[in-house]
Amino acid sequence: MEHTRIKELLKSEDFGKEVIVKGWVRTFRNNQFIAINDGSTINNIQAVIDFDNTSDAILKRITTGAAVRVKGNLVESMGKGQKVEIKATDVSIIGDSDPEKYPLQPKKHSLEFLREIAHLRFRTGTFNAIFKVRNALAFAVNKFFQERDFVYMHTPIITGSDAEGAGEMFRVTTLDLNNIPRTENGEIDFKEDFFGKSTNLTVSGQLEGELAALAFGNIYTFGPTFRAENSNTTRHLAEFWMIEPEMAFYELEDNMDLAEDLLKYVIRYALEQCPEEIEFLNNRLLEEEKSKPQNERSELNLIEKLNFVINNDFERVTYTEAIEILLRSKPNQKKQFKYLIENWGADLQSEHERFLVEKHFKKPVILTDYPREIKSFYMKQNPVDANGRQTVRAMDILFPGIGEMVGGSQREENLEKLITRMGEVGIPTEEMEWFLDTRRFGSVPHSGFGVGFERLVLFTTGMTNIRDVIPFPRTPNNAEF
Amino acid sequence: MEHTRIKELLKSEDFGKEVIVKGWVRTFRNNQFIAINDGSTINNIQAVIDFDNTSDAILKRITTGAAVRVKGNLVESMGKGQKVEIKATDVSIIGDSDPEKYPLQPKKHSLEFLREIAHLRFRTGTFNAIFKVRNALAFAVNKFFQERDFVYMHTPIITGSDAEGAGEMFRVTTLDLNNIPRTENGEIDFKEDFFGKSTNLTVSGQLEGELAALAFGNIYTFGPTFRAENSNTTRHLAEFWMIEPEMAFYELEDNMDLAEDLLKYVIRYALEQCPEEIEFLNNRLLEEEKSKPQNERSELNLIEKLNFVINNDFERVTYTEAIEILLRSKPNQKKQFKYLIENWGADLQSEHERFLVEKHFKKPVILTDYPREIKSFYMKQNPVDANGRQTVRAMDILFPGIGEMVGGSQREENLEKLITRMGEVGIPTEEMEWFLDTRRFGSVPHSGFGVGFERLVLFTTGMTNIRDVIPFPRTPNNAEF
């Protein structure tokens, strides 16, 4: 490899040294100054052309998007905002880019337009910054758990179980849709399908994670999960990555501590590893908000918001306390909520969560002990309280601008209670004997949670549409590239 | 958290200290010695019961698989093979395990039996060791690439493209199989499907990885991939994890160097991080091989084999050289190969690869420059040689006992050559315009490869069936748990 990456060159002080750089032209000004980017950093290096030794034929081919090789000497830059530049002695074209056809022009493109050319948007500063932050967050997730001796488990993507109950599922099949095999009774004969039964894409690795936690103690998953829901919102994807730790002997408080530690750790890591990228995104957001009326702008800028989260305790509130706050709240009293809170037991809507997080507490909030009826069958049941209310040891972490970042709970470890609850909500136990075995043989208190990774990236980058923080988003009617 | 994990306790020298341990009973001998494991290590801690203060009712419930809490003092152990044990002052049962029903008994179970109870096999020493090694390898993959400034990209799992050509695909759909919508022409109306078109599970993230590499320079994927092939072998899975780096400005030699460095790095990391686990697996393999005739046993034990790989250069050989070796080889001359090598152009079978790796070179081999006709359309074409032979800049890394561990190539960066080749092999370019754009706008030489993660785990653990190194294997007619 004869060339040096631009990230290294921009940090170098070896003035006079001969270097070779390879990258793509971002701009070419005055037939003299090439801004070159090789993806290693959001910053470009400037190469100054040696007129006498560069042919017109080459000059014409230095166009936005073209790949070039530049040899020259590293010199101190006279320009603003850059320490070094290259005094070029030799420029050659590696790959041309027809400026009439290249969709990325040296001007601001809308995020909507860039979504349509997602295969090229990585070549912009904004998306370079977003995916560098995403990369840092992903590594931080693994680093956090490895430092705590958690075992990374790859739970299955294709699942024969449809009892996870977390949402609509995608079918996985090799049956010929033009010639579906039938049993004698005329039903679809899934025995002929690849796995000999009906299979789907997983909505969560939790149940398999529990199996592993009750052997290894502490485990985590980090992999893709799927929801076949027709949600065309800025916060939903049909395919997204989820982090799901599961811990034996953890009770709800331990679970909340771990989740809070994780979120602070990974955001701090991104701030440390990607200071330039986050500053770039901070400025992008300030610029974007300039077009908004004053009262709709954020009180804190992106960097202030990230620092606020890592330096302050999350607010821990029970569902029951939250309902009291909401009942007394101005938007409820003045009937400004679309869904008015009328009594205990109501499911919280996005508007209520936002009120609690953004208006009332002004910080991340951990809501606990939800009514049993609005939560999943596997959550540990609290004793019925003096008012006859039945809650479960759930905990959701709500973030400003994002809503639910984490959903988790202590799990019901009592076999009888679990079977009874499954019966009540209509989950057949026969298909779940493997799951019930964890409560049958050496059952212990345990807990876990799931973090939507793209929501974490959304928060940390200050972006507002989840389609901009995953390389190739999958949403209803969209599976391009 | 009141308890200490056993991994910590076994390293402790705080004799006399009062400790609490929580875990599962592996064995209970003489009504006095409990071997407890909490999954943090393959090793158990021994607790010695205080007879006078432990009721018969408790003693009866200390059975294999039961979860217990033991309080006591850490003391120096008199027994062999352990430094410390716990002189118990208080034992309580957290979760019972009926010894009549618990499938895991304190005896040796076959791997076949354990596969049927994959939800419980994590509780054995063998599977604890395997998944600790898998965990170490997975983290090492990320660490290796992060240290080299590669960007981790999550390429899509659901894909609308079926041109990857790497194998049979699984369909992903939300269509009602009992009522498939049809167009006026009677064809399946995929406009009604979730994504508005026909979609599949990805067989490789390479093509999307190339898009990212031509923006970021160096990227890698590490995620699940799928093959709907009816292969019931000890080396194939329908769902497996793959690592796919892709690098701009890398030529074939750089690509080979990176792949060799990666494999050595991650195996070295596993040896460093999991010495006890690998020693355990080493002994397991020695034990297993005792039942084989002398001439079928491995020349090197597991640890020697791993050290051999990390301390020696891989052999780099062209396909053409390999064919000459095979033509001259004893099994070819004596017609012992099932598929005899008769001339240049033959596709290599597993028996030929094994001969080269295990008999001829006795080390990992990198085979390069295969005939164009037996490789993928996207591989860079070499100039036609003096004999009129057309090869491509492919490289496969073959490992002893495993076969193909890595498959990669330099990519064809020339737009015209690529389009011509796609035409020859029948891949419609219209659906691949996004891919071709990388060659249209700033095309550069680039390379990449894929590593089958489970094959890496198989090699590093010395296991022989790939179903034993992934938590819940998916194979034809099997998607349990």
Sheet architecture: strand order including A365-371: A151-152, A218-226, A239-248, A446-452, A403-410, A391-399, A365-371, A315-318
Asked if A306 has any chain B CB less than 8 Å from its own CB, the reply is no
Helix (H) or strand (E) holding B457: helix B453-461
CB B84 within 8 A of CB B76: yes
Report the SS3 class of residue B59.
helix
Q: How far apart are CA A125 and CA A461, in angstroms?
A: 13
Asked if B38 has any chain A CB less than 8 Å from its own CB, the reply is yes
pLDDT tens per residue, range B401-439? 899 999 999 999 999 999 999 999 999 899 899 999 999
Spell out a b/e string for B226-261, using b for 16 or more CB atoms within 10 Å of the CB, else e: bbbbeeeeebbbbbbbbbbbbbbbbebebbbebbbe
Confidence tier at A192 by pLDDT (50, 70, 90): very high
Asked if A438 has any chain B CB less than 8 Å from its own CB, the reply is yes
CB B477 within 8 A of CB B150: no
| Best of B34, B102, B194 to mutate (most A CBs within 10 Å, chain A) | B194
Q: Do A173 and B170 touch (CB under 8 A)?
A: yes
> Which B residues, 254 through 283, put their C-beta within 8 Å of a C-beta on chain A?
254
* pTM listed for this prediction: 0.97
pLDDT tens per residue, range A25-51? 999 999 999 999 999 999 999 999 988
What is the secondary structure of B235-292 as a DSSP string? T--SEEEEEEEEEET--HHHHHHHHHHHHHHHHHHHHHH-HHHHHHHHHHHHHHHTTS
CA dihedral A57, A58, A64, A65 (to 10 degrees): 120
- Residue B48, pLDDT score: 96
What single letter denotes the amino acid at residue B287? E
Confidence tier at B297 by pLDDT (50, 70, 90): confident
Confidence tier at A163 by pLDDT (50, 70, 90): low
Mind telling me how many Å the CA of B210 is from chain A's nearest CA? Answer: 10
Query: Average of pLDDT values for B179-193?
Result: 96
Asked if A196 has any chain B CB less than 8 Å from its own CB, the reply is yes
Closest C-alpha among A28, A213, A49, A10 to residue A106: A28
The angle subtended at Cα B333 by Cα B328 and Cα B338, nearest 5°, is: 110
pLDDT tens per residue, range B441-470? 999 999 999 999 999 999 999 999 999 999
CB A105 within 8 A of CB A64: yes
Asked if B324 has any chain A CB less than 8 Å from its own CB, the reply is no
Confidence tier at A431 by pLDDT (50, 70, 90): confident
- Residue A162, pLDDT score: 67
Percent of chain B exceeding pLDDT 90 equals 91
Helix (H) or strand (E) holding A75: strand A67-76
* Structural tokens at position A239: 């395919």
Confidence tier at A474 by pLDDT (50, 70, 90): very high
Of B65, B170, B443, the CB nearest to A441: B65
Q: How far apart are CA A142 and CA A243, in angstroms?
A: 10
Inform me whether the pLDDT recorded for B162 exceeds 80: no
pLDDT tens per residue, range A347-362? 999 999 999 999 999 9
- Residue A299, pLDDT score: 84
The angle subtended at Cα B295 by Cα B292 and Cα B297, nearest 5°, is: 50
* Structural tokens at position B238: 């329908």
Confidence tier at B295 by pLDDT (50, 70, 90): confident
Say which DSSP state A416 is in.
H
Chain B residue at shortest CA distance from A173: B171
Closest C-alpha among A447, A441, A450, A393 to residue A213: A447
Confidence tier at B164 by pLDDT (50, 70, 90): low
In Å, what is the CA distance from A473 to each residue of A138, A235, A239, A437? Answer: 17, 11, 7, 37
β-bridge partners, A158: A201
Confidence tier at A190 by pLDDT (50, 70, 90): very high
Chain A residue at shortest CA distance from B152: A135
Q: Do B177 and A174 touch (CB under 8 A)?
A: no
Inform me whether the pLDDT recorded for B166 exceeds 70: no
Mind telling me how many Å the CA of B222 is from chain A's nearest CA? Answer: 10
Q: How far apart are CA A474 and CA B15, in angstroms?
A: 57
pLDDT tens per residue, range A99-156? 999 999 988 999 999 999 999 999 999 999 999 999 999 999 999 999 999 999 999 9
* Structural tokens at position A117: 């050319």
β-bridge partners, A200: A159, A171
Asked if A167 has any chain B CB less than 8 Å from its own CB, the reply is no
Report the SS3 class of residue B133.
helix
- Residue B340, pLDDT score: 97
β-bridge partners, A90: A71
- Residue B167, pLDDT score: 75
Query: Average of pLDDT values for B116-120?
Result: 96
pLDDT tens per residue, range A371-384? 999 999 999 999 99
The angle subtended at Cα B428 by Cα B426 and Cα B431, nearest 5°, is: 150
C-alpha A252: how far from its chain's center?
Answer: 24
Asked if A17 has any chain B CB less than 8 Å from its own CB, the reply is no
Asked if B415 has any chain A CB less than 8 Å from its own CB, the reply is no
What is the secondary structure of A92-125 as a DSSP string? EEEE---TTT-S--SS---HHHHHHTHHHHTTSH
CB B319 within 8 A of CB B353: no
Query: Average of pLDDT values for B186-192?
Result: 96
> Which B residues, 204 through 233, put their C-beta within 8 Å of a C-beta on chain A?
208, 211-212, 214-218, 223-224, 226, 228, 230
| Best of A154, A178, A231 to mutate (most B CBs within 10 Å, chain B) | A154
